[in-house]
Structure 1
């Protein structure tokens, strides 16, 4: 880091864009970097992203620490002071930044605030940070990782998974996740694991810790792989389509699952209602050397000219299963969002079923941990449509992922699930159900 405060000011702006403007993490980071431009070095940008995401992962713990150290609660009017404290404590406890750098910079930033009452808080900021620095062991262990999960969300998880599993999930959500790569040629997993400095996963993916800039890695320009969490690779695998089969990929962008089907030799039609997302989809396919038919339309109203025996519906959802990589999700969603999304998913499911031929196979999946978006959706579908049956997923189809298979044959991966006993790093939370139509 440079000696000045530029990186920390940028981290503050990054955090505010997420918490106040409710921007997704990647968009907030891009806007922050554009605003600061050449003032940020490559090292500064890496520091800003790491500091901001680490702060978000520990947000509940950080607030509990701040409240523990103050006799007067910091109100919303002091949100900038609170954010400065959040970032400084993150540096002290979770980034091993020297105390003099973390504390002094926070005091200076507080002293430069426009609001005089904020400036007057610099003594409090200094006192809180000095105390936490003196008592690092206490503050590092006293505050449970479960504090980082909003109460409504934690309650919903405990009701479904039990408190023990939620505790494990909370710990898993604190770690910087590795990158998983799906390969154009899965038979070359061992070779690509060696080239990328990673390990081969049971499903044929490659996992890399601290991969660095993706576009600079071996094989990127040649389109030999794409980044895809191992859990996200399971739906296309479980669909079971083979070379020459016609596959309909609904809500297809950014295209990881489509790429899996194309790599098998399937004939794919990709549908997405966002022209912007489909442009990105097409750029991704171009890099990989793939091409397929794309359709810009609402998947709920799409009517193909010919039937597709294989349909994959990766429905819009709350994305609570992706919080390892997107810790902002827990602060951007609420119970009303889950209800609204569940209605969208119901409509998309009914639409997909209406165009599925008899004997055809449908995969429904969401990167969600919420009951309403997963088990409840399938239970309601099977209840209202007697022509649809579940095709249970079995352990021999998911080597290394047996813990994710539910009693009814659906799949729910969780953040603390590992691809194999000896392979750490967790995975995203995905719900997957495989269905077929028995009659018209």
Structure 2
């Protein structure tokens, strides 16, 4: 067969030659490349503070991740989420089996051990396979080859003792960096912090906002109805897009806590409402479904495209504007404004276990300053007498309670509009100062840990007076 140099077949041949030229020892061992990728990406998260979602995006993720087939990508994602969710416990069990600490610069060796131990302790991977692949990985990397015996010994010792050692380690470790746990304790006290950190060990459920008949959809999908009106599924047996009602646009995925801020605007039927920082569009969909004339604003053209696609599936409409909110000047002021501001996302650790390891106190302070600027601007976009709801998915008071306290004290033309104890079925459990609402992963007990909790959210309602 004659192949033109520009055809896909030729490109495939060139790629194959390139892969062969850059192959490493052991590349033909089944499963090894997935473990190498997991260790590489774990390093990108904990050493460089890179977002796990960005690294494992199926279109724009890390090249090493994109080179894997879909099955291995799923495995890598599971290994990484587990290694990060239980990072302190895994670390404690590794350290307990070392005669001396690892060299300070032995990051690659540490990541190999963490990837293997996470599989052995928490995933359905045979111990022997995890150990053998880790040893092969260590031998194939010049930085770690001389430590292959240590990898073998430490991991086999973990395998031998894990039935007793794992429960003890789980009881004694705090699954968070020290700074993160300290800030939680300062804000919530020891008991609530312990409950939040324990909830972070459990993968989050799947919450759906439905257009109508929550009880009917819960029965059809095998879920439960929450007091917020959301339908909660404990887990999925397949892709979300294959569930009944998805293609027909009958519901969308949205954590129950994230559905609360839009509800705080009450009856928006016929009103002009701005949803600021709107993508991916869950709150825009809520407002549009409630009859509002929504202007959805987002800085990113790519995120705006995703928002448009989501609304199209849901058969809902909104005006989508790509603009910098700080510079946005509408033709007329809005009747109401919803600002779900960019934040540290520390309320979403159950879904994003990399967050405590990729954020810092400095990040929180910078984001809080940004939120304050955006809130100042949001108030200017609403008519006198109109409502503004400010929210974010952070657990940190610097981005919530403290920010709102300062804002109210320094802003003369805004008054708080408290959420009444009987306004929503969930109001009594979540009310905070000034009638704002505060949710946490430990704040909603249910039949099982997987069905319990909410994302950490802060939401405050106010009215512009002049």
> TM-score when scaled to structure 1?
0.92
Q: Could you say which residue in structure 1 is the equivalent of 2:56?
A: 29
Q: Could you say which residue in structure 2 is the equivalent of 1:227?
A: 253
Find the structure with the greater CA-based Rg. 2
Q: Could you say which residue in structure 2 is the equivalent of 1:434?
A: 461
Segments of structure 2 that go 5 or more residues without pairing to the other structure are 1-28
2:247 is the counterpart of 1:247: no
2:74 is the counterpart of 1:77: no
Select which of 227, 230, 254 maps to 1:205.
230
Q: Closer, same or farther in 2 for the Cα pair 1:258/1:344, shift >3 Å? A: same
Q: Could you say which residue in structure 2 is the equivalent of 1:310?
A: 336
Q: Closer, same or farther in 2 for the Cα pair 1:149/1:182, shift >3 Å? A: same
Write out aligned runs for 1:172-321 (5 A). 172-183=199-210, 185-186=211-212, 188-211=213-236, 212-321=238-347
2:136 is the counterpart of 1:108: yes
Q: How many residues align?
A: 433
Q: Closer, same or farther in 2 for the Cα pair 1:349/1:421, shift >3 Å? A: farther
Q: Closer, same or farther in 2 for the Cα pair 1:361/1:58, shift >3 Å? A: same
2:119 is the counterpart of 1:91: yes
Structure 1 segments of 4+ aligned residues over 6 angstroms from their partners? none
Q: Closer, same or farther in 2 for the Cα pair 1:145/1:23, shift >3 Å? A: farther
SS at match of 1:318: coil
Deviates further, 255-264 or 123-132: 123-132
SS at match of 2:235: coil
Segments of structure 1 that go 5 or more residues without pairing to the other structure are none
Q: Closer, same or farther in 2 for the Cα pair 1:261/1:39, shift >3 Å? A: closer
Return the alpha-carbon distance in structure 1 between the equivalents of residues 46 and 246 of structure 2.
33
Deviates further, 407-416 or 155-164: 407-416
Shift of 1:34: 5.8
What's the CA shift string for 1:303-338, capped at 9, x where partnerless?
222221211011111111111111111111111111
SS at match of 1:121: helix
Q: Could you say which residue in structure 1 is the equivalent of 2:84?
A: 56
Q: Could you say which residue in structure 1 is the equivalent of 2:354?
A: 328
What's the CA shift string for 1:203-240, capped at 9, x where partnerless?
22111122231122222222111110000000001111
Return the alpha-carbon distance in structure 2 between the equivalents of residues 380 and 369 of structure 1.
17
Deviates further, 339-348 or 100-109: 100-109
Q: Could you say which residue in structure 1 is the equivalent of 2:24?
A: none
What's the CA shift string for 1:325-376, capped at 9, x where partnerless?
1111111111111111111111111111223222211100010011111011
Shift of 1:21: 4.5
Q: Could you say which residue in structure 2 is the equivalent of 1:171?
A: 198
Q: Closer, same or farther in 2 for the Cα pair 1:316/1:41, shift >3 Å? A: closer
Q: Closer, same or farther in 2 for the Cα pair 1:6/1:129, shift >3 Å? A: same
2:65 is the counterpart of 1:40: no
Q: Closer, same or farther in 2 for the Cα pair 1:32/1:306, shift >3 Å? A: closer
Q: Closer, same or farther in 2 for the Cα pair 1:196/1:358, shift >3 Å? A: same
Q: Could you say which residue in structure 1 is the equivalent of 2:363?
A: 337
Superposed CA RMSD: 2.1
Return the alpha-carbon distance in structure 2 between the equivalents of residues 310 and 298 of structure 1.
19
> TM-score when scaled to structure 2?
0.87
Return the alpha-carbon distance in structure 2 between the equivalents of residues 342 and 83 of structure 1.
32
Q: Closer, same or farther in 2 for the Cα pair 1:253/1:94, shift >3 Å? A: same
Write out aligned runs for 1:344-355 (5 A). 344-355=370-381
Select which of 383, 402, 424 maps to 1:376.
402
Return the alpha-carbon distance in structure 2 between the equivalents of residues 353 and 244 of structure 1.
20
Q: Closer, same or farther in 2 for the Cα pair 1:389/1:145, shift >3 Å? A: farther
SS at match of 1:395: coil
